[in-house]
Structure 1
């Protein structure tokens, strides 16, 4: 297969139903736009419904909007109930939404904001929708991670919510490491079913609104260092699209740009950190995540 994979390689998606979180702009928007253009029925699962409607109006195809606030487990449960009622089957769940380098804040349920949004909200949503995915051959759960999973690469079980001290960078790195560990642990649980796979992707360094919560000095520093290498959102979305649609993708794989240090380039199979593959930590995180969210996944 041609490794210079582009959105032109996305096969026909007619008949498939895709839920994309955080799809009002950036990577999520571009991912949803291409899926809809290729014929999928796409649901934009977003916090701001009005922005979601505006995004949907700019897309071609069958696109609807679902209210979803990942910082509230009540909202996650409500959204999952709505999606289950509207869609007897799901083919794609793309866990794309995220926050980055935010000041210390907590979600409605008391979780540190970055962990609560990036990992726990998606963990709960996936568990609540899994029985719509499992009966669907070829279905996938795609979770968007980041090269930042290597930053302070640890799950801080002794202070998971960063209550004793707080680091924007460390908390973000923890949440992105959690995304990968979730993907690998989920794939082990899905494998016996043979119908659904879990895959991860990362966009490299792309020009999106993700850094909007970071301090001005940090945004300027990133722009100065990475500016020449920044991809547009459409290019940054390609690893997610490949993870979601390439028929050669296998469960437990991780996709990112093929360029130097995975900063930019065309999407390809990439390696994550050794820490992300620690099964003991993955299973401990899984148990803690079920306890915190109250969502228990179906057993194989």
Structure 2
């Protein structure tokens, strides 16, 4: 498998439908843009529809906008109904949207915001749309994680919503670890069907709006060192695009930048933490996620 994979390696996407969450800015926008450039019919699933329309206007190709607030199960169900009605088949579901290092807040359904948005929201959306992917050979669910899945990261089953104490970094680590555990558990369920696969990716250190909730001092440091530490959003989107489109990709694989410490560089196959591969914890998280969202999967 080549490790010099660039935007030029994205195969022709004509005839394929791709849904990208959080597509109006940053990594999601670049992911949507490159897929549309290659011919995909792209749905930008975004919380702010007006901003989504402005972003869509900057992309040449077949691009539409769908309202989706991953912090609301009602919004997720409504969006899934709209998407299912508009698209009898879906080739790519790219779970890209996310929030990071926020002060403790809750979603409309009372979930801690980072866990509720990054994991539970995408868990529910995937489960509600999966019947549109399963009949499609070569379809994929790509979930964007982070190197943050290794930092103070554990699934706190005794306090998933961080009600007893709260750590911005720890909550982000839990959510990003959950993204990977979801991917691996989903792939095991998909494997017998032989049509759809689940993969994951991380952008490394890429410029995006996710740094806006960092503590002030750290945010200022990031701003000063950004040009040295961070790669542009179009480069940060390449691991996701490879996980979504490279014919050599297999289910359950994880892609990220190949440079120093996984922060920069072209996308390659990477490894995730031992905790992410704990199958008993994956199953427990899956069961809890079904209970919290009320969404069960057709696999």
TM-score by length of 1: 0.98
Shift of residue 285 of structure 1?
A: 0.2
In the aligned structure 1, how far is the partner of 2:289 from the partner of 2:29? 28
| Partner of residue 246, structure 1 | 246
SS in 2 for 1:142: strand
| Partner of residue 255, structure 2 | 255
Matches within 5 A, 1:1-300: 1-224=1-224, 227-299=227-299
SS in 1 for 2:198: strand
Shift of residue 210 of structure 1?
A: 1.0
In the aligned structure 2, how far is the partner of 1:18 from the partner of 1:236? 19
Shift of residue 214 of structure 1?
A: 2.3
Shift of residue 225 of structure 1?
A: 5.7
Shift of residue 79 of structure 1?
A: 0.1
In the aligned structure 2, how far is the partner of 1:227 from the partner of 1:176? 25
In the aligned structure 2, how far is the partner of 1:246 from the partner of 1:119? 25
Shift of residue 212 of structure 1?
A: 1.4
In the aligned structure 1, how far is the partner of 2:205 from the partner of 2:136? 33
Aligned length: 299
In the aligned structure 1, how far is the partner of 2:286 from the partner of 2:265? 32
In the aligned structure 1, how far is the partner of 2:287 from the partner of 2:222? 35
Shift of residue 222 of structure 1?
A: 3.4
Q: Deviations over 1:3-62 (max 9, x none)?
A: 211100000000000000000010000000000000000000000000000011000110
Shift of residue 223 of structure 1?
A: 3.9
Q: Deviations over 1:127-163 (max 9, x none)?
A: 0000000000000000000000001121000110000
Shift of residue 213 of structure 1?
A: 2.1
In the aligned structure 2, how far is the partner of 1:214 from the partner of 1:228? 18
Shift of residue 216 of structure 1?
A: 1.6
In the aligned structure 2, how far is the partner of 1:100 from the partner of 1:219? 13
Shift of residue 260 of structure 1?
A: 1.2
TM-score by length of 2: 0.98
Q: Deviations over 1:238-279 (max 9, x none)?
A: 000000000000000000000111010000000000000000
Shift of residue 221 of structure 1?
A: 3.3
The worse-fitting range, judged by mean Cα deviation, of 233-242 and 209-218 is 209-218
In the aligned structure 2, how far is the partner of 1:278 from the partner of 1:226? 34
4+ residue runs over 3 A deviation: 221-227
SS in 2 for 1:158: coil
Shift of residue 217 of structure 1?
A: 1.7
Show structure 1 runs of 5+ residues with no match.
none
Q: Deviations over 1:150-188 (max 9, x none)?
A: 011210001100000000000000000000000000000
In the aligned structure 2, how far is the partner of 1:11 from the partner of 1:40? 10
In the aligned structure 2, how far is the partner of 1:227 from the partner of 1:154? 31
In the aligned structure 1, how far is the partner of 2:106 from the partner of 2:222? 25
Shift of residue 227 of structure 1?
A: 4.7
Shift of residue 86 of structure 1?
A: 0.1
The worse-fitting range, judged by mean Cα deviation, of 222-231 and 119-128 is 222-231
SS in 1 for 2:123: helix
